[in-house]
């Protein structure tokens, strides 16, 4: 192959490295990724770098599914999850620019039935509020109810009134997927088009993103698709594909690095793509303007002092540059997109193992190389944190196994634990007898999900979900007059941090 100056070619990727390319990118990136996916058990990864208006690299590593030979390439589809949010924020910002709505309009102007926990928030809450995670709710609050559920979009919004906030409205940051769904439903009221139709027509089609899809439905049947995996319990396991189209404006898009470089190029060229104006610059500005402070303290590991959130995108300083990014997580997938307009730099990383931080280490490593940060092995640092967390999880799992192995007898017959239980936010679960010292739990709004409960001691059962992505946790009952009265159910923090208390009383308990 002909070489010009420091020109190099990354096999299987695309494009040319210029004389200004950092040595880490030209000399070490490929081996860094190969090592990282092995050490972190990432079956497949796709990465792209945009610099100075050109696609410098787009390449796949590893396999789409751990037990099959098909390789990941630049066209392999991944769920991009919360990287959908900037598309939603951009759509709403465009409608604001066109004066078809205002970001400061009250939500109830478009959804008169919409309610939050308290009347003051309900009266004041605006479109801007729902797009920047400042509702006062806890991060991920309600998502165990909403994620992978059979609830309709409006049913999810109806349940927001049952989420008791732990923070202050417009003061405290708390990541809320349902806020973006709210914005998507408002978009439909204003335009007469669904969120999917509007974003397709206004963004994807003009950009030529032909292999990007608005919904997860049917993803498993598409060509060149990465399968979701987790190694949460050591062994790398293939998971079911999430069905999260009811949270579409927050999380449902599917794409590949080849298409997403077009989105990055638009972000880095003030709304233009290949010389054509796709979006007004003012629209992009609105998405990036800070609406709430996420953090304003110096980070001990990264050259960051502040983090803010706009409309579907984070912003931070990074070694003197303004960096915008978002991550996305669905069961079996974690992804990120990042762009640095001052450096005309964009990065997209898509992976198909949800229990790893290499996708973040790689982003920071690329940023370090381009922004002049002295080399530190970001992957090895994050591995140390992960190892500590894994040791704790292994200890917890062993402790539960030991308690199950003790074969203790329940203090009351198993039938005393069976029946229907209710939670104000979730709805109903049903617990039935499944064998010696075992129960089975089914979930009203998750018809494809169940859980096995094996008795340990002290009215606590080990709860193992049929979809292992939801985790393994103790389920603790309380008794009254020889019969179970409540049970506490937990899922992985990947979905929601808090446990749910279910009660036999149909009125439930107003708790989360």
Average pLDDT score, the chain: 94
- The model scores a pTM over 0.85: yes
pLDDT digits (tens, 9 = 90+) for 388-429: 998 999 999 999 999 999 999 999 999 999 999 999 999 999
Residues 6+ apart with CB under 8 A from 52: 18, 344
User: For 447-495, what is each residue's pLDDT tens digit?
Assistant: 999 999 999 999 999 999 999 999 999 999 999 999 999 999 999 999 9
Q: Give the Å distances, CA to CA, from 280 to 203, 247, 512.
A: 12, 27, 42
* Other Cβ atoms within 10 Å of 100 Cβ, number: 12
User: Quick one: which H or E segment has residue 346?
Assistant: strand 345-351
Segment 305-314 mean pLDDT: 98
In sequence order, which residues have a C-beta less than 8 Å from that of residue 123 and are 6 or more positions away? 106, 108
Residues 409 and 417 sit within 8 Å (Cβ to Cβ): no
Cβ atoms 153, 136 nearer than 8 A: no
Report pLDDT for 435: 78
pLDDT, one tens digit per residue, over 60-83 is 999 999 999 999 999 999 999 999
The pLDDT of residue 250 is 98
Q: What is the mean pLDDT of residues 77-99?
A: 98
Domains of the chain: 23-388 (3.40.710.10), 414-503 (2.40.128.600)
- Kindly state the average pLDDT of the residues 487-506: 94
Closest CA to 14 of 52, 45, 47, 43: 47
CA distances from residue 362 to 28, 138, 142, 212, 359 in whole angstroms, order as listed: 12, 29, 31, 23, 5
Q: What is the pLDDT of residue 232?
A: 87
What tens digit of pLDDT does each residue of 228-264 get? Answer: 999 988 789 999 999 999 999 999 999 999 999 999 9
161 secondary structure, DSSP code: G
Asked if residue 53 has pLDDT above 80, the reply is yes
Longest dimension (CA), the chain: 84
Distance (Å, whole) CA 181 – CA 157: 8
Q: Could you read off the pLDDT of 419-440 as tens digits, one per residue?
A: 999 999 999 999 999 977 899 9
Residue 130: φ, ψ to 5°: -75, -15
pLDDT digits (tens, 9 = 90+) for 132-186: 999 999 999 999 999 999 999 999 999 999 999 999 999 999 999 999 999 999 9
Q: How confident is the model at residue 18 (pLDDT cuts 50, 70, 90)?
A: low
Question: Given the DSSP bridges, would you call strands 237-238 and 276-277 parallel, antiparallel or unpaired?
Answer: unpaired
In 197-264 the beta strands, taken as DSSP E runs, fall at 229-230, 237-238, 254-255
Per residue in 184-233, pLDDT tens?
A: 999 999 999 999 999 999 999 999 999 999 999 999 999 999 999 999 88
**CB 441 within 8 Å of CB 433:** no
Tens of pLDDT along 337-383?
999 999 999 999 999 999 999 999 999 999 999 999 999 999 999 99
Band (pLDDT 50/70/90 cuts) for residue 7 is: very low
With 50 as the cut, is the pLDDT of residue 11 above it? no
SS3 content of the chain, % helix, strand, coil (to 5): 35, 25, 40
- CB within 8 Å of 104: residues ≥ 6 apart: 126, 127, 128
Q: What SS3 state is found at 186?
A: helix
Please give the pLDDT value at position 24: 95
Asked whether the predicted pLDDT for residue 507 surpasses 80, the reply is no
Task: Say which residues have a Cβ less than 8 Å from residue 402's Cβ, sequence separation at least 6.
Answer: none
In the prediction, which pLDDT does 13 show? Answer: 56
Residue 512 has pLDDT above 60, yes or no: no
């Amino acid at each position: 192959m002909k070489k010009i100056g420091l020109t190099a070619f990354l096999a299987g990727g695309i494009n040319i490295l210029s004389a200004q390319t950092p040595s880490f990118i030209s000399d070490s990136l490929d081996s860094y990724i190969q090592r990282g996916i092995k050490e972190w058990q990432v079956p497949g990864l796709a990465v792209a770098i945009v610099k100075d208006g050109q696609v410098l690299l787009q390449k796949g590593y590893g396999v789409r599914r751990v037990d099959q030979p098909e390789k990941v390439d630049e066209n392999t589809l991944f769920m991009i999850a919360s990287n959908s949010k900037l598309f939603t924020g951009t759509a709403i910002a465009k409608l604001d620019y066109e004066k078809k709505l205002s970001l400061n309009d009250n939500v109830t102007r478009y959804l008169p039935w919409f309610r939050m926990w308290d009347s003051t928030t309900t009266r004041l809450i605006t479109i801007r509020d729902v797009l920047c995670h400042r509702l006062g709710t806890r991060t991920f609050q309600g998502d165990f109810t909403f994620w992978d559920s059979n609830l309709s979009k409006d049913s999810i919004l109806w349940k927001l009134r049952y989420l008791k906030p732990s923070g202050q409205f417009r003061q405290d940051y708390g990541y809320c997927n349902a806020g973006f769904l709210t914005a998507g439903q408002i978009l439909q009221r204003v335009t007469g088009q669904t969120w999917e139709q509007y974003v397709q027509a206004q963004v994807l089609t003009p950009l030529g993103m032909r292999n990007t899809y608005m919904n997860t439905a049917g993803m498993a049947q598409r060509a060149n698709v990465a399968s979701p995996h987790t190694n949460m319990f050591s062994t790398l396991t293939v998971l079911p594909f999430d069905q999260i189209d009811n949270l579409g404006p927050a999380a449902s898009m599917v794409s590949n690095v080849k298409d997403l470089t077009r989105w990055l190029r638009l972000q880095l060229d003030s709304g233009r793509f290949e010389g054509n104006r796709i979006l007004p610059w003012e629209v992009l500005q609105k998405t990036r303007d800070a609406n709430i402070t996420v953090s304003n303290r110096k980070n001990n590991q990264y050259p960051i002092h502040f983090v803010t959130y706009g409309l579907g995108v984070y912003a931070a300083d990074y070694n003197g540059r303004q960096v915008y990014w978002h991550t996305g997580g669905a069961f079996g997938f974690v992804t990120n997109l990042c762009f640095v307009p001052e450096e005309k730099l964009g990065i997209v990383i898509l992976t198909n193992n949800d229990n790893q931080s290499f996708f973040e280490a790689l982003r920071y490593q690329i940023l370090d190389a381009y922004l002049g940060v002295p080399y530190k092995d970001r992957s090895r640092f994050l591995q140390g944190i992960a190892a500590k967390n894994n040791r704790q999880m292994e200890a917890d799992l062993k402790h539960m196994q030991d308690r199950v192995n003790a074969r203790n007898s329940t203090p009351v017959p198993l039938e005393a634990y069976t029946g229907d239980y209710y939670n104000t936010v979730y709805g109903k679960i049903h617990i039935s007898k499944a064998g010696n010292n075992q129960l089975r739990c089914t979930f009203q709004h998750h018809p494809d999900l169940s859980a096995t409960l094996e008795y340990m001691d002290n009215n606590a059962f080990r709860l193992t979900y049929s979809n292992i992505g939801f985790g393994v946790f103790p389920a603790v009952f309380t008794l009254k007059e020889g019969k179970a009265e409540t049970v506490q159910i937990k899922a992985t923090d990947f979905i929601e941090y808090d446990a749910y208390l279910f009660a036999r009383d149909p009125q439930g308990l107003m708790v989360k």
